[in-house]
Amino acid sequence: MKFTVIGYWGAYPEKESATSCYVLESNGSTVVIDLGSGALSRLFQYYSIEDIDGVVLSHFHHDHIADLGSLQYALLVQQHLNETNKKIPIYASKDNPKDFQRLTHNGTVGKAYQEGHDLTIGSVHFSFLKTKHPKSCYAMRITNGENTIVYTADTSFFPELIDFSKDADLLVAETSFYKGMDGKKAGHMTSEEVGKLANMANVKELWLTHLPHFGDHEQLYNEAKEQFKGTVRLAKEGLSFST
Ligand SMILES: [Zn+2]
Ligand SMILES: [Zn+2]
């Protein structure tokens, strides 16, 4: 199982980078997780459309889905050029039916996932936990039976995240705010909360992602590290975890 960061900004991308987007590879299947602004352009540094077997979306905020339309146009153009006839499944919650409707268009087909029901894509299994966020959003626990990666997506801290992340090999946690700031209202976590989560869940490694456009990210790293003694990394494009 290989997990690679493509985009790691919250809200909007800085130059030559993207907001939320990750790629999971396992036994020949390639799954994109979230498709934020700038994501497709950065993704093409590493993968082609033909490589993508599916897309899993955490929620419908722009910084997680902005390039969905670009993917649909890319498939449309390549269909016209007879370069592909593939249909890419896009998995998301149906909590907001209007948002979900957008997923079936040109070369993409919407498929619903649900909390409490595992989703299997190729050799990997996804389970979902609804998070605390202004728009309906789901954290993902991904396993191939041997190794486990947890992606918090967007959320403020809540205790169920600890069990959901328990003993993961890698926890990819949104870190939108610095220690001492109040993330609850906006539905986001601080570096301190993320470090405590990693510690309480006994994960092996912690990545900080969905990074803010202010302050010094090294401070986020240091504040998380105060709470968690395992490996901590700041997400950046191309950062990769292999098991
Ligand atoms: Zn976000
Ligand atoms: Zn969000």
| Dist. CA 132 → ligand 2 center (Å) | 10
| Dist. CA 91 → ligand 2 center (Å) | 17
| Dist. CA 99 → ligand 1 center (Å) | 16
Ligand nearest to the CA of 132: 2
Instruction: Name residues whose C-beta falls within 8 Å of residue 44's C-beta, 6 or more positions apart in sequence.
Output: none
CB-based neighbours (< 5 A) of ligand 1, an ion? 63, 154
Q: How confident is the prediction for the chain on average, in pLDDT?
A: 97
Compute how many other C-beta atoms are within 10 angstroms of the C-beta atom of residue 196. Answer: 18
| Dist. CA 19 → ligand 1 center (Å) | 8
The label of the residue with tokens 């352009």 reads: 41
pLDDT digits (tens, 9 = 90+) for 35-62: 999 999 999 999 999 999 999 999 999 9
Ligand nearest to the CA of 60: 2
pLDDT digits (tens, 9 = 90+) for 168-181: 999 999 999 999 99
210 pLDDT above the threshold of 90? yes
Instruction: Name residues whose C-beta falls within 8 Å of residue 66's C-beta, 6 or more positions apart in sequence.
Output: 19, 35, 36, 37, 38, 39
pLDDT digits (tens, 9 = 90+) for 58-114: 999 999 999 999 999 999 999 999 888 889 999 999 999 999 999 999 899 999 999
Compute how many other C-beta atoms are within 10 angstroms of the C-beta atom of residue 78. Answer: 18
| Dist. CA 86 → ligand 1 center (Å) | 29
| Dist. CA 188 → ligand 2 center (Å) | 8
**Can you identify the CATH homologous superfamily of domain 2-237?**
Ribonuclease Z/Hydroxyacylglutathione hydrolase-like (3.60.15.10)
| Dist. CA 128 → ligand 1 center (Å) | 17
